[in-house]
Amino acid sequence: MDDGPSTAGQQRPPLRADAQRSVDALLAAAAEVFAESGVDAPVRKITAKAGVGAGTFYRHFPQRSDLISAVFRREVDACAAAAPALTAQYPPLDALTRWLERFAGFIATKRGLSAALHSGDPVYDSLPCYFQQNFEPVLADLLERAAQAGAIRSDADPWDLLRAIGNLAVPLEDGDDHTQRMISLLVDGLRYGAGAGAQPS
């Protein structure tokens, strides 16, 4: 995560420890509020959850788009960082499946983000690239490990799979159950044609 919000093409100097704590609290609170109410949720709801005043909020995030962008990047970082821990803890196929579920959860909680990304605000211009640059290599590594273990086929394209899950991981009445069923179907498809000569995970 960056040391603080920045506008397109600009980097802010590192924040003091107390200021960084305020930013971290705001980002954590905003992520929860956005998941509950969408990205258009009232600022007062975010500041109340974070335990800071409106002045602190606007000092760090002058525009709502600055906050949305910072929350998005923070959530991308956290989701991508989950992969190595899963790889260390579980067999390749389990690690892959668990990370896909984690990624689907990330997508499903981004209520209203798609509209924001297409709003024309330049703050969002770098986010699609940030998304791909962080997630594609992570998933490529998980797929490669599972393929080498003989658990899945070796021709799966990570970007195709990310987009497929992005299309299915939407909030529905049956929520997580629906998404998990769809991921199970995708994983079953990856298992079809797996190398018979390799040791399964």
Cα separation, 23 vs 128, whole angstroms: 23
In angstroms, the CA 141 to CA 157 distance is: 11
Query: Environment class of residue 24 by beta-carbon count within 10 Å: exposed (0-12), middle (13-18) or buried (19+)?
Result: middle
User: How far, CA to CA in Å, does 133 sit from each of 50, 124, 142?
Assistant: 30, 15, 15
Digits of tens for pLDDT over the chain (201 positions)? 444 454 444 455 566 777 789 999 999 999 989 888 888 899 999 999 999 999 999 999 999 999 999 999 999 999 999 999 999 999 999 999 999 999 988 887 776 677 777 778 888 888 889 999 999 999 999 999 999 999 999 999 999 999 988 877 655 555 567 778 888 888 988 988 786 544 444
Cα separation, 25 vs 71, in Å, equals 11
Q: Which domains does the chain have, with CATH numbers?
A: 3-7+9-62 (1.10.10), 69-192 (1.10.357.10)
Statement: the pTM of the whole predicted model exceeds 0.85: no
Residues 6+ apart with CB under 8 A from 105: 169, 176, 179
